[in-house]
A and B are shown apart, each in its own frame.
Chain A
């Protein structure tokens, strides 16, 4: 299947968060989001309480999917990045390891040039992490879901 299930453990998540934090600092951006292509947020740095990261992740993924569709129609290989300039905040999006979207929100505190430069470094680091993850043998860790009973599922919806 095109998108095998993504399972992340402490080890990788710590590494991914470190990349996000480093990028956040080095690029002087406001916010870094690392989003799965299906729209699920994996990690973030520099998020304030007002930012609705769940909606943002879904919309970013929709946007990337749509431009990917456009690329296919005009027989371009996937666009690897996108940039939207706003009055206050601009958005920079990059596809990493073909299944992750690296999103940078930044303002006048930095420049597009610096953001690009730092994104390139972060991209390499993340590619390493996700490639290693893809090569990792499955099932080495606990699988809590094997033990779920029908009763557990019923309880989800309350009485």
Chain B
């Protein structure tokens, strides 16, 4: 949950990138890290295996600037995607203010997307959250790959509630900031109480 420090005049939010293994969650954070100004970002922490698969989480603190004299800081986390890391995923969802579901647009990954989405909903419920009430966006990543499904086909099953959705190619940054902005907007609007 958000942490407001009235003394230092700053507000902190926690957002989580969720999705099946290898869909591009870590790549989203790496891009954000790469292009953010040095003074706006902290160190990116990745708890990964020797083969660079996310083991526990990636973490990137990012200052988005000031709103009405309040420094607005987002803590971005990714979860490990593989099915067997479920216990870790649950821990990372604790205290979350917003979620981005990163889907892998490739035809062959549709089942993995659906399984991960169901897992997200279930794990949130275990923490006392309802996905439908949480700031939430969907990203269709890897749009550059040859065997991708059209968004018109992905959207009805991966975004049945029609939250804001974005197409992306995380390796070259396409759609990465649009996605983050879409999520940040909702998170701050919720803080406002609307």
Quote the shortest CB–CB distance from B91 to chain A (angstroms).
4
User: In the assembly, what is the distance between CA of A20 and CA of B87, in Å?
Assistant: 33
Judge whether B127 and A2 touch: CB under 8 Å. yes
A93 smallest CB distance to B (angstroms): 16
A148 to B67, CA, bound (A): 8
Asked if A69 meets B87 with Cβ closer than 8 Å, knowing A40-B12, A153-B188, A156-B184, the reply is yes
Looking at A57-65, A104-112, A114-122, the stretch in contact with chain B turns out to be A57-65
Q: Is B95 a contact partner of A38 (Cβ separation < 8 A)?
A: yes
| A5, B59: Cβ atoms closer than 8 Å | no
Q: Which residue of A lies closest to B90 (CB)?
A: A69
Neighbour of B61 across the interface among A2, A54, A59, CB < 8 A:
A54
Q: Are B91 and A65 in contact (CB under 8 A)?
A: yes
The listed residue (B45, B91, B177, B192) touching A59 by CB distance below 8 A is: B45
Could you say which residues of chain A place their CB within 8 Å of the CB of B129?
Answer: 1
**A146 lies within 8 A of B193 (CB):** yes
A88 at the interface (CB under 8 A from B): no
Query: Of B72, B87, B91, B127, which is within 8 A of A156 by CB?
Result: B72
Q: A65 to B94, alpha carbons, bound, how many Å?
A: 9
B192 cross-chain contacts in A, Cβ below 8 A: 145-148
CA distance A80 to B191 in the complex (A): 32
In the complex, chain B residues whose CB is within 8 Å of the CB of A55 = 42-43, 45, 59, 61
Cβ-based interface call for B38 (8 A) = no
Residues of B within 8 A of A6 (CB): 1-4
Measured between beta carbons, the chain A residues less than 8 angstroms from B91 are 62, 65-66, 68-69
In the complex, chain B residues 104-144 whose Cβ is within 8 Å of any chain A Cβ: 127-129
Question: Contacts A40-B12, A40-B75, A148-B192: A156 and B67 contacting too (C-beta < 8 A)?
Answer: yes
Q: Mark B12-41, 1 if CB is under 8 A from A, else 0.
A: 101000000000000000000000000000
- Knowing A10-B6, A10-B7, A40-B12, say if A2 contacts B45 (CB, 8 Å): no
Closest 10 CB pairs of A and B: A38-B95, A65-B91, A13-B7, A3-B95, A7-B4, A5-B1, A54-B42, A40-B3, A6-B3, A10-B7
Which residues in A have some Cβ–Cβ distance to B below 8 Å? 1-10, 13-14, 36-40, 42, 52, 54-55, 58-59, 62, 65-66, 68-69, 73, 141-142, 144-148, 150, 152-153, 155-158
Given contacts A6-B1, A55-B45, A145-B70, 9 further A-B contacts (CB under 8 A): A2-B94, A2-B128, A5-B4, A39-B59, A55-B43, A146-B193, A147-B192, A155-B67, A157-B181
Binding site for A on B (CB under 8 A): 1-8, 11-12, 14, 42-43, 45, 47, 56-57, 59, 61, 64-65, 67-70, 72, 75, 87-88, 90-92, 94-95, 127-129, 177, 181, 184-185, 188-189, 191-193
| CB<8 Å pairs between A and B, sample of 13 | A3-B95, A4-B1, A8-B4, A36-B3, A38-B1, A42-B5, A62-B57, A68-B91, A152-B67, A155-B67, A156-B64, A156-B188, A157-B181
